[in-house]
Chains A and B, each alone.
Chain A
């Protein structure tokens, strides 16, 4: 009977069933543990449906989800739109009031490049190594953007690794923070920054977009949208656009991003030993990024009387605002009345900009 011949069930492979398990695990983590649910839930579902045989959802030119993927990610539309929303959600006051903290966001990119170098030495191509390294920036949309440009075959694995480690920030970061700081250092109370004027906040996205794009033109799609979103926010004259960028638009593109990323993870692509290396290297990148931010803060303290609490350096990995919250928590464990959250937001946001610059540099050299 033709019906039985066309059944997907007959084309099922053990690899597909294994991928279902991965999909179910991500959905479980999203629902019960609330680990990055906005992304892991659609990614998990995308994994399951793309591994249902003969569904052709990712068939080039035909499949529904392939169209989302092709026009959304390959055409580089969704990650910049996510950045538009992030810009509209971001308050740069913490960074503008203490600009020296920007260097902690730069230090956190060391993990990206160290891991890039190691991944290349392990046999990955330059493009693949760059995509693996950027996981250390802990910025999901940037990881997806770079992967789509340089190594689309690794997109699913790198995106899941990035979002998984972002969700695991409260578990990964504290041991490194405690290992690299003394109890005295964790108790350092930082001086409050100055008040930032509303005019400064309006000028900043304009200046930042111009400066960064002039220096690293390849970062333009992400930085331009990020700063435009922030201009919507700070100008206070386009509340409708600001609200749309923060909420409706962000939610819509998140749906398409999640399901498209999940759908790239078919059994043939994903069940390879390289994927295990990607997860280990991603974790390594994340740890080095955390450590390098802390170490730079300690180094800066050698030259200043206005001390920086080194824990704040750990927030240089993007993962906004989770990394800053973890800094606050670890700081409060040493001194209950030490409020580090606002200080940690500075390097946290600088980390986002730093990761985009790092991705732009990779693209400009490798593409």
Chain B
């Protein structure tokens, strides 16, 4: 049961960490490559 609990905790936290890092990467991507649209909108 302990093994299952460890996978449970690791799994949920792993998914959130993974997608949080991807979130940060999307934000960074916007800074690097998203300016073109901002300028056009202005």
Contact residues of A with B, CB < 8 Å?
95-96, 99-100, 102-103, 105-106, 109-110, 112-114, 116-117, 120-121, 126, 129-130, 194-197, 199-200, 202-204, 207-208, 211-212, 215-216, 350, 353-354, 357-358, 361-362, 365-366
Distance from B35 Cβ to chain A, minimum over Cβ atoms (Å) = 8
Question: CA A114 – CA B30 in complex, angstroms?
Answer: 34
Contact residues of B with A, CB < 8 Å?
1, 3-5, 7-8, 10-12, 14-23, 25-30, 32-38, 40-41
- Contact assessment for B37 and A196 in the assembled complex, using a CB-CB cutoff below 8 Å: yes
- Contact assessment for B12 and A207 in the assembled complex, using a CB-CB cutoff below 8 Å: no
- Contact assessment for A197 and B22 in the assembled complex, using a CB-CB cutoff below 8 Å: no
- Contact assessment for B37 and A110 in the assembled complex, using a CB-CB cutoff below 8 Å: no
Question: CA A136 – CA B1 in complex, angstroms?
Answer: 21
- Contact assessment for A200 and B33 in the assembled complex, using a CB-CB cutoff below 8 Å: yes
Residues of chain B within 8 A of A361, CB atoms compared:
7, 10-11, 14-15
Among A102, A103, A200, A353, point to the contact of B29 (Cβ < 8 A): A200
Given A126-B7, A199-B36, A215-B18: A99 and B12 interface contact (C-beta under 8 Å)? no
Number of A-B contacts (CB under 8 A): 116
Question: CA A317 – CA B20 in complex, angstroms?
Answer: 17
- Contact assessment for A197 and B4 in the assembled complex, using a CB-CB cutoff below 8 Å: no
- Contact assessment for B12 and A200 in the assembled complex, using a CB-CB cutoff below 8 Å: no
- Contact assessment for A362 and B7 in the assembled complex, using a CB-CB cutoff below 8 Å: yes
Query: 14 A-B residue contacts at CB 8 Å?
Result: A96-B26, A112-B11, A113-B12, A116-B7, A117-B8, A194-B37, A196-B34, A197-B33, A207-B25, A208-B22, A212-B22, A358-B14, A365-B7, A365-B10
Majority DSSP secondary structure for residues of B touching A = helix
- Contact assessment for B27 and A99 in the assembled complex, using a CB-CB cutoff below 8 Å: yes
Closest B residue, CB atoms, query A95? B26
- Contact assessment for A199 and B15 in the assembled complex, using a CB-CB cutoff below 8 Å: no
Distance from A119 Cβ to chain B, minimum over Cβ atoms (Å) = 9
- Contact assessment for B12 and A102 in the assembled complex, using a CB-CB cutoff below 8 Å: no
Question: CA A121 – CA B30 in complex, angstroms?
Answer: 44
- Contact assessment for B33 and A354 in the assembled complex, using a CB-CB cutoff below 8 Å: no
- Contact assessment for B18 and A204 in the assembled complex, using a CB-CB cutoff below 8 Å: no
Distance from A133 Cβ to chain B, minimum over Cβ atoms (Å) = 9
- Contact assessment for B18 and A216 in the assembled complex, using a CB-CB cutoff below 8 Å: yes
Closest B residue, CB atoms, query A219? B18
- Contact assessment for A354 and B15 in the assembled complex, using a CB-CB cutoff below 8 Å: yes
Given A120-B4, A199-B36, A200-B33: A353 and B14 interface contact (C-beta under 8 Å)? no
Given A102-B26, A212-B22, A215-B18: A113 and B8 interface contact (C-beta under 8 Å)? yes
Residues of chain A within 8 A of B23, CB atoms compared:
99-100, 102-103
Question: CA A221 – CA B42 in complex, angstroms?
Answer: 41
- Contact assessment for A113 and B25 in the assembled complex, using a CB-CB cutoff below 8 Å: no
